[in-house]
């Protein structure tokens, strides 16, 4: 279990991380979101002791990280770093050896991992001969092949197409099933909603959201209505409690409500002439919530 308690880090007059606390039990995934410069990467570096915190502490299984613990950590930095003139096989073995694994242990696993992430190329190919996406997959393999118990991935989905992003999602879920603590940052809210057990949002170094995806969405209430009805947008806009109304390209009307309670009266009005094919009252998505919280900066 990873515990981050009241972590703070300043650089001169800039407070990069301000009193951040969260816990990740074994076998859970935490997603960290926030605009560029929100403090995500600094938080990761503080957890790994690459930077020294001004105050607060990081505990791994109830105690501060020790030198031997780094052998059970997998870290993928935002700035990718591979040796271009080294082969895939030698690159993976080298990083695994830095984590206390032997060449004899790792070499037989490389084909399986390359197949799992669908790396295009032979293990004897040099890194520089690979596409950017395949280089990223090789670095992911190097991050995970030693079967870490704590995995920190900084923007792992960056630059991946939907197929490869799906492979990575499957890999992260597999780590969870194996009991690892996983923390990753992403600007893709679909990835976050799909695989996270818990979510933290940072803004200017401070936590502004913390909880499960369901808990966070529930806090904002079911203020969106999706419906298919013959009624026009003008008619819907005039209904009590409707703040905004629009039509999607698929012809679905979307209403933004002042209060979730207004949905019941609207339902009665739009169905008074009988059945309609769609009426769904939902909370905002994580992407919409992200934009709301980020937008508060400019209010």
Query: Residue 147 and residue 10: Cα distance in Å, rounded?
Result: 33
Lowest mean pLDDT among 45-59, 72-86, 141-155, 261-275: 72-86
State pTM to two decimals.
0.84
Length of the chain as a residue count: 299
Is the pLDDT assigned to residue 40 strictly greater than 90? Answer: yes
Mean pLDDT of 243-260: 92
Query: Residue 168 and residue 73: Cα distance in Å, rounded?
Result: 18
Q: What is the pLDDT of residue 189?
A: 86
Q: What is the pLDDT of residues 72-90, one digit of tens each?
A: 999 998 887 788 899 999 9
Mean pLDDT of 247-255: 92
Q: What is the pLDDT of residue 296?
A: 62
Nearest to 155 by CA among 188, 178, 127, 132: 188
Where residue 299 falls among pLDDT bands split at 50, 70, 90?
very low
Mean pLDDT of 200-223: 92
Is the pLDDT assigned to residue 297 strictly greater than 60? Answer: no
Query: Residue 255 and residue 250: Cα distance in Å, rounded?
Result: 15
Structural domains of the chain, with CATH: 2-218 (3.40.50.300), 221-282 (3.30.70.330)
Helix and strand element counts for the chain (H, E): 11, 14
Is the pLDDT assigned to residue 68 strictly greater than 90? Answer: no
Mean pLDDT of 15-35: 94
Q: What is the mean pLDDT of the chain?
A: 91
Mean pLDDT of 224-251: 92
106's enclosing H/E stretch is helix 103-106
CA 246 centroid distance within chain = 30
């Amino acid at each position: 279990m990873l515990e981050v308690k009241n972590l703070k880090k300043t650089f001169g007059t800039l407070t990069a991380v301000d009193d951040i606390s969260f816990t990740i039990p074994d076998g859970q995934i935490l997603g960290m979101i926030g605009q560029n410069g929100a403090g995500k990467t600094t938080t990761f570096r503080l957890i790994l002791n690459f930077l020294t915190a001004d105050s607060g502490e990081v505990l791994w299984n109830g105690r501060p990280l020790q030198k031997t613990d780094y052998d059970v950590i997998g870290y993928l930095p935002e700035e990718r770093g591979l040796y271009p003139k080294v082969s895939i096989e030698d690159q993976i073995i080298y990083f695994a050896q830095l984590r206390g694994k032997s060449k004899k242990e790792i070499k037989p696993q490389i084909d399986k991992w390359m197949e799992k992430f669908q790396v295009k190329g032979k293990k004897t190919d040099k890194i520089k001969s690979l596409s950017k996406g395949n280089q990223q997959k090789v670095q992911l393999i190097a991050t995970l092949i030693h079967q870490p118990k704590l995995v920190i991935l900084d923007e792992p989905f960056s630059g991946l197409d939907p197929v490869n992003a799906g492979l990575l999602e499957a890999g992260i879920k597999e780590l969870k099933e194996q009991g690892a603590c996983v923390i990753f940052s992403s600007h893709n809210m679909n990835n976050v909603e799909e695989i996270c057990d818990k979510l933290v949002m940072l803004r200017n170094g401070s936590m502004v959201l913390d909880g499960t995806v369901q808990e966070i969405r529930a806090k904002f209430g079911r203020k969106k209505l999706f419906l298919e009805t013959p009624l026009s947008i003008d008619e819907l806009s005039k209904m009590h409690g409707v703040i905004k109304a629009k039509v999607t390209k698929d012809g679905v009307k979307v209403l933004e409500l002042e209060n979730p309670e207004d949905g019941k009266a609207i339902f009665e009005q739009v169905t008074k002439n009988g059945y309609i094919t769609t009426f769904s009252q939902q909370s905002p998505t994580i992407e919409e919530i992200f934009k709301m919280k980020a937008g508060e900066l400019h209010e």
